[in-house]
Amino acid sequence: MRSIAVTSGKGGVGKTNISSNLAIALAQQGHRVVVMDADLGLANLDVVLGTRAACTLQHVCSGEKRLREILTNGPGGIRFIAGGSGVQELINLTGNELEQFLAELAELESETDFLIFDTGAGVDESVMTFALAADEVLLVTTPDPASITDAYATAKLIFANKPSALIRVVLNMVADEAHAQSVFARLQAIARQFLGKKLHLAGYVRQDPNVVQAIRRREPFVLALGNRGAGSDILRIAAAITGAEWEPEPVGFFDRLRLAFGGARKKTA
Ligand SMILES: Nc1ncnc2c1ncn2[C@@H]1O[C@H](COP(=O)(O)OP(=O)(O)OP(=O)(O)O)[C@@H](O)[C@H]1O
Ligand SMILES: [Mg+2]
């Protein structure tokens, strides 16, 4: 199983849509995918997927449901975990409750190829918890200078806490590939100069009015567009991610998540 935390510095840059559509694109390539809502602020993964979940992480945190029971079938053959108002409670779990949650999450490992976390923006504790635990981070930014600056700040914080972090950048809402390449080159240059770190380019998603229309219909755009426009962009990112060289980290994901839960809490305490 590979775990991917989708994050950004600035809000509203396309994380939830990229998480959802990348999940479906990976499923279309034959992978078993689970997306989990890990956004403390606006937990709207189910809305973007156009599928109401009867139960959310809140029911798990309150002990009413087991994680497996709230796992919901989404469009395009994916499964997802809705956040509701439960993400905050999740982040605050300690001791036995945290162990129980991690054990239930670990049960999914044998039946999942990709576990994708749709995190919030910025550098709050939930973002850091998932970004530090995941095998890789997909850092979403638009070409907007404020978004780039915040993406850099996020990368800086992730590297400060995890020097070995693998951060791949997704340029969203760009005009075309050349535009994405030039914006990425600038971000890459400052990361090299000031952090001494390499960022990777996962790919780009063009600014596409069809995306906005699909979102209004609550239909994931890759299902609406297939291999056209922004649909082809997300399919290309999925192919790049599955083709990308990847080695499991020496410490297992669930142990890293346990450490990250402890670490994030200490940091913000
Ligand atoms: N490729 C695109 N082309 C056109 N519009 C887009 C594209 N990607 C995102 N958008 C617009 O940006 C909005 C925000 O997207 P999304 O909800 O995925 O962002 P987010 O980063 O998850 O936001 P938040 O920080 O609130 O969680 C969408 O509703 C849509 O209007
Ligand atoms: Mg979102």
CB 90 within 8 A of CB 101: yes
In a domain, 113, yes or no: yes
pLDDT at residue 232 in the model: 96
Instruction: Say how many C-beta atoms besides its own lie within 10 A of residue 20's C-beta.
Output: 31
pLDDT at residue 23 in the model: 98
Is the CB–ligand 1 distance for residue 215 below 6 Å? yes
In a domain, 14, yes or no: yes
Q: What angle do CA 92, 96, 102 make, to 5 degrees?
A: 75
Q: Kindly report the protein residue whose alpha carbon is nearest to atom 24 of ligand 1.
A: 12
The residue ranges of DSSP E strands in the chain, in sequence order, are 2-8, 33-38, 72-73, 79-81, 114-121, 136-141, 167-174, 200-206
Task: State which residues form the domain around 67.
Answer: 2-262
Is the CB–ligand 1 distance for residue 12 below 6 Å? yes
Instruction: Say how many C-beta atoms besides its own lie within 10 A of residue 266's C-beta.
Output: 9
pLDDT at residue 245 in the model: 64
Q: Across the chain, which distance is largest between two alpha carbons, in Å? A: 50
pLDDT at residue 129 in the model: 87
In a domain, 267, yes or no: no
Instruction: Say how many C-beta atoms besides its own lie within 10 A of residue 114's C-beta.
Output: 22
In a domain, 205, yes or no: yes
CB 246 within 8 A of CB 2: yes
In a domain, 77, yes or no: yes
Count of helix runs (H) and strand runs (E) in the chain: 13, 8
Is the CB–ligand 1 distance for residue 232 below 6 Å? no
Stated pTM of the model? 0.93
d(CA 21, CA 219): 10
What secondary structure does DSSP assign to 91-107, as a single string?
Answer: HT--HHHHHHHHHHHHT
In a domain, 229, yes or no: yes
Measured in Å, residue 48 CA sits from the centre of ligand 1 at: 10
Number of domains in the chain: 1
> pLDDT of the chain along its 269 residues, tens only?
999 999 999 999 999 999 999 999 999 999 999 999 998 888 899 999 999 999 999 999 999 999 999 999 999 999 999 999 888 888 888 888 888 888 899 899 999 999 999 998 887 777 888 999 999 999 999 999 999 999 999 999 999 999 999 999 999 999 999 999 999 999 999 999 999 999 999 999 999 999 999 999 999 999 999 999 999 999 999 999 998 766 667 788 888 888 888 765 554 44
What CATH number is given to the structural domain containing 73? 3.40.50.300
